[in-house]
Amino acid sequence: MSELTYPVGKLKDFACEIFRKIGCSDADASLATEVLLSADRRGIDSHGIARLSGYVRLWEAGRLNSTPNVRVVHETPSTAVVDGDRGLGLVVAPRAMEIAMEKAAAVGSGWVSVKNSNHFGIAGYHAMMALKSDMIGMAMTNASPLVAPTFSLDRLLGTNPIAVAVPAGEEPPFVADMATTTAANGKLEILQRVGKQAPKGWIQDKMGQPSTDPHELKNGGALVPLGSDYEHGSHKGYCLGAVVDIFSAVLSGANYGPWVPPFVAFLAPPADPVGEGIGHFVGAMRIDAFRPADEFKKNMDKWIRRFRSSTPVQGQKRVLIPGDPEREMEAHREQHGIPVNPKVLEDLRALASRFDVKNPVL
């Protein structure tokens, strides 16, 4: 069954209507849609429209508040803790980022740790919000425990992504957006769909031995931190995932480590929570809080051009700048539309029927 392709606008209209159906205000539904679809536009299919039914199921399970009162519960001039009131992370995180940017505008930088939230889509979206204001943006989040620290059998961390967005001048911005594991869970899902094995170094089995079975997580296995094994630095990937967990959740009062509630609604959250919901951490630094923005951008352009013009290894066309592949995908999909996997399409059609959505396109 081949994939059908839909214009971005059509998928947006559909997602927005679903978010309204579960009770989101028009503004929140638009924002959530914008964030969700930015994943599909940028080619991170696992975090986009494919997750729409997952958010709905969380709402049905009473774990997601579609009319949250997102509020600052503690702050200083450059920091804040935000309570997401069990809202969509897709809405809570941009609000938190706005607060970080307001603080950066006032005192140079702003850092916001968020509790009581849900999955926030792609980290890159939130980090990139800073670019338009000539700020560096950062975003990270903890997530359902699927990752075993180095030497551990237990799954204690999520894929805990980190995103950093840096403005440039004439060049497009530098945008890093990465899970702190060797491979993101979305890559396993793709292998599962096509029935292929995973490369060695992505997964361990329930005994902690390397495995290539993309279904291994269902059998008690785990994703491994960036680095794959101790000899290749997996303890560093573990450090990064741990820092994301601490900044996002221990600092805010969200659940951390193995207590992070699962994204999938069919699994119950731990009965002994150590905090509220899941946690994010976002930040913004004003460029001109360090040096004049035009000076910085001229140097970022030079940095980017030097790296892009590096001699490539034989068989590779070029050395990439973080953000290049996603930006090129975005340009392509804006023009040619977004391919939707048949299983996802089935899911969306079920949503349309469940909520009586008139959308002749799907």
Pick 95 or 286: Cβ nearer its own copies: 286
Pick 25 or 299: Cβ nearer its own copies: 299
Which of 156, 143, 120 is closest to 34 using CA atoms? 120
Pick 52 or 81: Cβ nearer its own copies: 81
Pick 74 or 215: Cβ nearer its own copies: 74
State in angstroms the smallest separation of the CB of 310 from its own copies: 4
Spatial neighbors of 224 by CB under 8 A, at least 6 apart, are 147, 148, 181, 182, 201, 202, 203, 204, 234, 237
Spatial neighbors of 28 by CB under 8 A, at least 6 apart, are 19, 66, 67, 87, 88, 91
State in angstroms the smallest separation of the CB of 109 from its own copies: 5
State in angstroms the smallest separation of the CB of 355 from its own copies: 38
User: Cα separation of 119 and 99, whole Å?
Assistant: 19
Pick 176 or 329: Cβ nearer its own copies: 176
Which of 252, 95, 223, 80 is closest to 160 using CA atoms? 223
Q: 76 in helix, strand or coil?
A: strand
329 CB-contact burial (10 Å; exposed 0-12 / middle 13-18 / buried 19+) = middle
Pick 29 or 156: Cβ nearer its own copies: 156
State in angstroms the smallest separation of the CB of 320 from its own copies: 7
User: Cα separation of 52 and 278, whole Å?
Assistant: 18
State in angstroms the smallest separation of the CB of 240 from its own copies: 8
Which of 80, 90, 119, 106 is closest to 29 using CA atoms? 90
Residue 360 near residue 20, CB atoms below 8 Å:
no
Pick 173 or 262: Cβ nearer its own copies: 173
**Tokens matching residue 337:** 């539309």
State in angstroms the smallest separation of the CB of 332 from its own copies: 20
129 CB-contact burial (10 Å; exposed 0-12 / middle 13-18 / buried 19+) = buried
State in angstroms the smallest separation of the CB of 72 from its own copies: 11
